[in-house]
């Protein structure tokens, strides 16, 4: 019989802490609900002790999810364990995830602890966590570069103290698939308490082998895989959830294992993450990239038309890519648009739906047709910060080869209209300068990206920016058929998010 592999999603913790991947509370809550709809077994909601904001997001997610286990990451420190428990104790299925490093390099240079102290702390902190929470996972950070005999001692200490799951992380993406399988086999054979725990792996992608290492560990007998949507995470990222899940589904006969994930939610879930972090999914990304089911070669096209199995080992509809037959335009009513949004696996409240309906009708006045990608882009543009300091009213730009670029930007700030003029190296630079003058801040543009939501000259443009002020940075997104309009909206979005985060801090 096929083994069931638990899917432990850490998009909201390991994924979200990667540079440029931060999300606000509303986005984290919506993604948590999407993960529950995806039917992952556990969600690592965050690192509760990291900040008051992280604590609150973990607590809110714990209160809302009903079927999925909710975990908080904790160092092997009493305060971490206590704070983690306070954050998850309201969950229907709470978990505490305790970790400590076990490799020589980490113990010597990061922890500055002798191995015996690491061993003692493992037992003490897992025992403390188990006294608070019924389900405890223990991770030996940098396990793949640890002395195997010592690793066995630490993991046995955690199991003896009450950890029900033992996680073996390839923290720096150093292992190869063969080494990963050998390590799991060694632990299962040499740990005294191996028969009493669930084995798990958490693989990073520094050498591009995170998914391969995870699947190799499955073959070696692990019962859980930790991963993120789109593979986001520290440095080169984590093992991609969608790749692992579809590998198990497509090659279940080979792996002798499967999982309970609803694969039809994979495409909507990955697109949700992409929208929230402002990073586009690469076209050649396996499973969910734009080219994953595209064929240009005549030989390939002929084969697919004859029989899809010639060049497609998966069906687009299996991961949630459906052909929406509803036509959306200027005459579409709110109910039709609501149904369209529902078919896309998204949720909006009444006010958001009303705003979206008006945006779609305005867009339909200037575009020949409005499709799914337009609607997704417009939805992303409506995710405003909790408090909007500056709202765009109008702008004027002048630019040419023989005159300096100037821009006038008018906004509403606390119900007061304000406008500023600025010159710059092109109309967009001038507009951004005007916004800086309006805010009285010297924000620096760190990154600027343009992408069309669809094809054609009337395509909806999507602009992603990241601004910086000192040590802090913030992303923003704007959408419009006018790329200068989209750029200004993106910059203002970043400014508003920056100020909202400052206010919370």
Residue spans of the domains in the chain: they are 3-277, 293-322, 334-381, 390-504
Residue 304: pLDDT band with limits 50, 70, 90:
very low
Tell me if 393 sits within 8 A of 417, measured CB to CB.
yes
**Averaged pLDDT, 119-129:** 98
State percent of the chain over pLDDT 90: 68
Q: CA-CA distance, 233 to 224, in Å (whole number)?
A: 18
Alpha helices in 281-329 (DSSP H): 298-306
Q: What is the pTM of this model?
A: 0.84
128, HSE (Cβ side, Cα atoms, 13 Å): 21
Of the chain, the end-to-end C-alpha distance in Å amounts to 52
Task: Name the DSSP class of 109.
Answer: I
pLDDT tens profile 196-239: 999 999 999 999 999 999 999 999 999 999 999 999 999 999 99
pLDDT tens profile 236-289: 999 999 999 999 999 999 999 999 999 999 999 998 998 888 888 888 999 999
pLDDT tens profile 332-351: 667 777 777 776 666 777 87
Class of domain 3-277: alpha beta
What pLDDT shows up at residue 381?
Answer: 64
Tell me if 99 sits within 8 A of 106, measured CB to CB.
no
pLDDT tens profile 178-200: 999 999 999 999 999 999 999 99
Q: CA-CA distance, 105 to 112, in Å (whole number)?
A: 9
- Region 390-504: CATH code: 3.30.160.270
């Amino acid at each position: 019989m096929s083994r069931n592999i638990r899917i432990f999603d850490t998009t909201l913790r390991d994924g979200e802490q990667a540079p440029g991947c931060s999300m606000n509370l509303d986005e984290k809550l919506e993604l948590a609900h999407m993960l529950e709809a995806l039917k992952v077994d556990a969600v690592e909601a965050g690192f509760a002790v990291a900040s008051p904001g992280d604590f609150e997001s973990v607590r809110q997610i714990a209160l809302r999810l009903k079927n999925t286990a909710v975990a908080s990451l904790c160092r092997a420190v009493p305060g971490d364990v206590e704070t983690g428990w306070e954050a998850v104790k309201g969950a229907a299925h709470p978990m505490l995830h305790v970790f400590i490093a076990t490799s020589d390099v980490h113990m010597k240079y990061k922890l500055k602890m002798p191995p015996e102290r690491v061993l003692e702390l493992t037992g003490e902190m897992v025992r403390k966590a188990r006294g608070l929470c019924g389900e405890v996972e223990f991770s030996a950070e940098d396990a793949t570069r640890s002395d195997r005999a010592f690793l066995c001692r630490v993991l046995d200490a955690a199991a003896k103290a009450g950890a029900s799951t033992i996680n073996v992380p390839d923290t720096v993406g150093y292992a190869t698939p063969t080494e990963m399988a050998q390590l799991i086999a060694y632990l299962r054979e040499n740990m005294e308490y191996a028969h009493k725990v669930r084995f798990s792996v958490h693989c990073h992608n520094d050498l591009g082998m995170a998914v391969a290492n995870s699947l190799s560990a499955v073959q070696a007998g692990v019962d859980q895989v930790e991963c993120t949507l789109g593979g986001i995470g520290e440095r080169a990222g984590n093992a991609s959830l969608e790749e692992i899940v579809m590998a198990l589904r497509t090659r279940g006969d080979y792996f002798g294992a499967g999982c309970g994930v609803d694969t039809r939610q994979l495409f909507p879930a990955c697109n949700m993450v992409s929208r929230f972090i402002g990073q586009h999914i690469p076209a050649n990304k396996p499973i969910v990239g734009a080219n994953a089911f595209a064929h240009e070669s005549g030989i390939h096209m002929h084969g697919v038309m004859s029989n899809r199995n010639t060049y497609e080992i998966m069906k687009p509809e299996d991961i949630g890519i459906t052909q929406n037959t509803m036509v959306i335009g200027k005459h579409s009513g709110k109910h039709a648009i609501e149904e369209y949004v529902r078919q896309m696996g998204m949720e909006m409240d009444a006010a958001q739906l009303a705003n979206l309906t008006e945006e779609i009708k305005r867009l339909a006045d200037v575009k020949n047709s409005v499709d799914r990608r337009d609607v997704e882009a417009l939805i992303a543009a409506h995710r405003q910060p909790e408090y909007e300091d500056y709202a765009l009213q109008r702008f004027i730009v002048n630019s040419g080869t023989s005159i300096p670029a100037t821009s006038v930007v008018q906004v509403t700030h606390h119900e007061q209209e304000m406008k500023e003029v600025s010159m710059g190296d092109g109309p967009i630079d001038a507009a951004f300068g005007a916004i800086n003058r309006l805010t009285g801040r010297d924000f620096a543009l760190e990154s600027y990206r343009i992408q069309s939501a669809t094809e054609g000259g009337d395509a909806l443009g999507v602009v992603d920016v990241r601004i910086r002020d000192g040590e802090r940075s913030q992303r923003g997104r704007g959408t419009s058929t006018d790329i200068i309009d989209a750029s200004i909206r993106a910059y203002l979005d970043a400014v508003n998010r920056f100020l909202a985060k400052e206010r919370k801090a």
